[in-house]
Amino acid sequence: MDHKEILKSSKLSLTSHRIELLSILSNCKQAISEKELEYLMNGSCNRTTVYRNLNSLVEKKIVHRILSAEAVKYKLASGKNKDGKKSDHVHFECRRCNTTFCMEELSVDDYKLPEGFTKLENQFIIFGICKNCLNEQD
């Protein structure tokens, strides 16, 4: 699916900012921070517009928002859960190389909240040492 189709299938309007955000994110193998994203958008729109558009992409689960230790990071969802139906998954952040991984095979339980509370977003992150860093050690 190209970026326009992703937006269309999520019933989001095709704005140039959204398309630009998606193409930046799809060029990044790693999750990138808000600061880096802003920098890569290169001042083509103001911060408020960047965040408004990011939020709509996060809500549709096209983009993952990860609250990591040092920054809020964003990552484009992989093909299999772009449909937005999949449940939230676990993220893993390596304390050594700061890489954030999407562990899409590990889903986050849909916790039953007390009455009157509404979930907007799940965040589940595990901090540890990734296998690349572990291999470097020995």
Residues forming contacts to Zn ion in the complex (CB under 5 A) are 64, 94, 96-97, 102, 130, 133
CB 95 within 8 A of CB 127: yes
Closer CB to Zn ion, residue 23 or residue 30? 30
**Closest separation in Å from C-beta 24 to Zn ion:** 17
Give the count of beta carbons closer than 10 Å to the beta carbon of residue 63. 22
**Closest separation in Å from C-beta 44 to Zn ion:** 26
**Closest separation in Å from C-beta 94 to Zn ion:** 3
Nearest-angstrom CA–CA distance, 1 and 24? 16
Closer CB to Zn ion, residue 18 or residue 64? 64
CB 12 within 8 A of CB 25: no
**Closest separation in Å from C-beta 101 to Zn ion:** 8
Positive or negative, the CA dihedral 65, 78, 48, 24 is positive
Closer CB to Zn ion, residue 6 or residue 94? 94
Closer CB to Zn ion, residue 38 or residue 104? 104
